Structure formats: structure tokens, C-alpha cells
Amino acid sequence: MTAKATVSTVIPAMHYRDAARAIDWLCEAFGFERHLVVPGENGTIAHAELRFGNGMIMLGSVRDSEFGRLMKQPDEIGGAETQTAYLVIDDADAHYARAKAAGAEIVMDIKTEDYGGRGYSCRDPEGHIWNFGTYDPWSA
């Protein structure tokens, strides 16, 4: 089976306790752009789509639902993650400075990798781990 030809065929999905705040922070710290934000009840976010280059993430507020019960927040499992996103960037040093200035917790400092590319890893305010780097597997 072949994936439908589209801009991005893999779209990570995440939950945040304060999704509205997370959206603002992800745009400020990492450079995401709002594509769609659907408000929910009581200040929650029912669904949001944020663009980054030709990629996207989807996110929403943590809620007690069939799907929501399948997920845990990092602070519920000792700060661990079971998967993370890697985002290809043009200038790792500038991106690192922007994220750090916005309060991202750097968990793996910026460095040049043996396999090529320069990057770093950090946590957002709710503990999700993000990886950014100049290594582009599509052009390697």
C-alpha cells in the first residue's frame, strides 16, 4: 500500500494540559505557524494543526476520552517519552538560541554529529522532547 501523495504523510499528534499556552509557546520558541485551531469547552483546544515548513503537528488538550486514555504526559511517566519528533532546520545555532531564550530546557546540547548535521534536543514547558537539526535524510 502506498501513501497518498500530499505535502506531509506523517503528522505527529500530541496532547497538552494547557494546549492554548502550548500553541503560543511552540510558535514563539520553535517557529511553528497556526494552520487551524479549534477551541473546545472551558478554554480547552479540541484540535489544532501547526505547520513547520512542509510538516505539521496536530495537538489538543488532554482529555478523558477513548484515545486520550491511550496517552500519558511526560510527568506521568517520570519525564520519559515513547517517541519524539525531529524537525529539519536551516540554522541550528539560531534556532537553539531562539528556543533557549523562550525557556526551552536543553536536554542534549547543540553539537555537530559524526553522520553530518548540527542539532540539539530540548523539552517544552510540559516536558515533551523535541529534536532539531540540519541533517536532512531526504538529501543525504
Boundaries of every domain in the chain:
13-133
- 48 confidence band (pLDDT: 50, 70, 90): very high
- DSSP designation for 7: S
Q: Phi, psi at residue 96, to the nearest 5°?
A: -55, -45
The amino acid at 82: T
**Is pLDDT above 80 for 7?**
no
- Assess contact for 89 and 134: CB atoms under 8 A: yes
Pairing of strands 105-112, 85-88: unpaired
13-133 folds as: 2,3-Dihydroxybiphenyl 1,2-Dioxygenase; domain 1 (3.10.180)
Give the mean model confidence (pLDDT) for residues 17-30: 98
User: Rounded to an integer, what distance in angstroms lies between the CA atom of residue 66 and that of residue 46?
Assistant: 14
pLDDT at 5: 67
User: Rounded to an integer, what distance in angstroms lies between the CA atom of residue 131 and that of residue 25?
Assistant: 16
pLDDT at 112: 98
